[in-house]
Structure 1
Amino acid sequence: MTTTPDLSGRIALVTGASRGIGYNTAKQLAAAGAHVIAVARTVGGLEELDDEIKAAGGQATLVPLDLTDMAGIDRLGSSINDRWGKLDILVANAAVLGVIAPIGHVEAKVFDKVMAVNVTGTWRLIRSVDPLLRKSDAGRAVIVSSGSAHSARAFWAPYAASKAAVEALARSWADETKNTALRVNIFDPGTSRTAMRALAVPGEDPATVAHPSETASHILQMVDPALTRTGQIYQIREQRWVSHQKPA
């Protein structure tokens, strides 16, 4: 996965775009020619992103939005339809970690927030933009997951469970749309130099972890109009695609 696709004239929606992987993905999509709809809670981060994109000659629309605002997600889909009539690219990246703790020590409000943002927010987003992606000649959706969905390590239960649920949503969506022009795939970013990573692994030397710009470059390949894969996971650690076979 090395070449940069030509995304001229394509409309791309990126959540969690104010920092980390989302920020760098939005920048690279814009540099490849896409008009980026950047969604995040942090207005300052969105404004910095907008400045960088415009300085490089790109275009962006900023949408300050919390993914627990379900009605706001619905309005976003409606606004995209009114302005562009379609959506070409979705990168569902926004997520929260919650806490690293034994299951019995996790507070209900923390668990509920992890599920609300990571699972329900992603489902509502898919529900809102699915009709728009189907209107594209080559709709591409990338759902950002985590190796935690499969490793299910001790103390990571809420986050791991949320990512396993998100992968199930993505795979079902991919199966529903396999006979259309829409391709839906899952991205496991491995270790990346993000604020979430710093929270999860305090004391780690950031220099030993991949910069989010390196991580984002892989997502760019997954939204290529020429991509034919759907319902698969791209694992950045192994630099490979993983296909899950459905039971007979």
Structure 2
Amino acid sequence: MTEKRIVVVTGASRGIGYEAALALGRAGWHVVAVARTQGGLEELDDAIRDAGGSASLVPLDLADPARIDEVGAALNQRFGRIDALLGNAGLLGGLAPVGHIDPKKWDQAFAVNVTANYRLIRSLDPLLRQSPAGRCLFLSSAAAWKGAPFWGLYAASKAALNALVMAYAEEVRNFGIAVNLLNPGPLRTRMRAQAMPGEDPDTLATPADLAPHIVSILEASDGRTGALYDYPTLSWMKLQPPQ
């Protein structure tokens, strides 16, 4: 069993997931990198090892829930715990009026953006409870509350994820597990380019700019939980109305 803290990162083969995994590896975490693309995972592994870190590679399509359960069982057998989960993987699903959303794209987006994260929580919760300071961070989006036209599919999936994560945060609050959301805002990613093809990418921050903030949140010792970190404003916010 490794003495390093262990973090599971989904969507680790490119973009935010890649840069976050690399930064976590540099910071001394053992990174369990999950993605569909074997080649991207191998490039990440090389980069982490060049930085003096360590990683385990898990080629996995998150749309296959049975495989997610297998990952949890394998991590339990190998490590007996995990210390953090970064739920980064997501699909845009395309932009369209609500009445014209393709049912197949709807199912695909919800499978990755919502159901996969539920299955990850279900599979990894027992391992997080074995950590002295478990941490979870899931990528949200301002689309979830802005009500922008044509963004209905992505917005609905992220709103559902927000509700799921906030409920989980309250359920494990007394078990030393801190669970939060992250709004990355507009970054220079492939998904952003798909959504905004006319935008100048040089005007945007990069996933590498965001990565240190992710490391800081997952390493936080203050135990903040049930909140959202808004990267564009570098501030924390609560999603629930005041009591």
CA distance, structure 2, for counterparts of residue 112 and residue 101 of structure 1: 15
1:206 aligned partner: 201
Secondary structure class of the residue paired with 1:187: strand
- Tell me the matched-pair count: 241
- Stretches of structure 2 that go unaligned for 5 or more consecutive residues are none
**Secondary structure, aligned partner of 2:31:** strand
Q: 2:192 corresponds to which residue?
A: 197
**Which residue in the other structure is 1:187 paired with?**
182
Partner of 1:229: 224
1:124 paired with 2:124, answer: no
State the match for 1:95 in structure 2.
Answer: 90
**Residues 107-151 of structure 1, C-alpha deviations (whole Å, 9 max, x = no match):** 110111001111111100111101111110000000111111111
Which runs of structure 1 show a deviation greater than 2 angstroms over 4 or more consecutive aligned residues? 244-248
Cα contact 1:41–1:65 (8 A) shared by 2: yes
Runs of 5+ unmatched residues, structure 1: 1-7
Classify 1:65/1:239 alpha carbon distance in 2 versus 1 (closer, same or farther; 3 Å): same
Is residue 2:153 matched to residue 1:158?
A: yes
CA distance in 1, matches of 2:211, 2:167: 24
Tell me, yes or no, if the aligned pair for 1:139 and 1:225 is still in contact at 8 Å.
Answer: no
Per-residue CA deviations over 1:212-234 (Å, capped at 9, x if unaligned) read: 01112211111015132100000
Identify the residue that residue 149 of structure 1 maps to in structure 2.
144
- TM-score normalised by structure 1 residue count: 0.95
CA distance in 2, matches of 1:43, 1:198: 23
CA RMSD of aligned residues (A): 1.1
2:213 to 197, 218, 225: 218
The corresponding residue for 1:168 is 163
- 1:56: how far off? 1.2
What SS class does the counterpart of residue 29 from structure 1 fall into? helix
| Match in the other structure for 1:33 | 28
Shift of 1:73: 0.2
- 1:76 to partner: Cα distance: 0.3
Q: Aligned letter for 1:98? A: G
SS in 1 for 2:193: helix
Secondary structure, aligned partner of 1:167: helix
Name which of 34, 45, 49 aligns with 2:40: 45
| Distance in 1, Cα, partners of 2:80 & 2:196 | 42
CA distance in 1, matches of 2:62, 2:32: 15
SS class of match (1:223)? helix
Q: Percent identity?
A: 52
- What is the rounded CA distance, in whole Å, between the counterparts of 2:104 and 2:150 in structure 1? 17
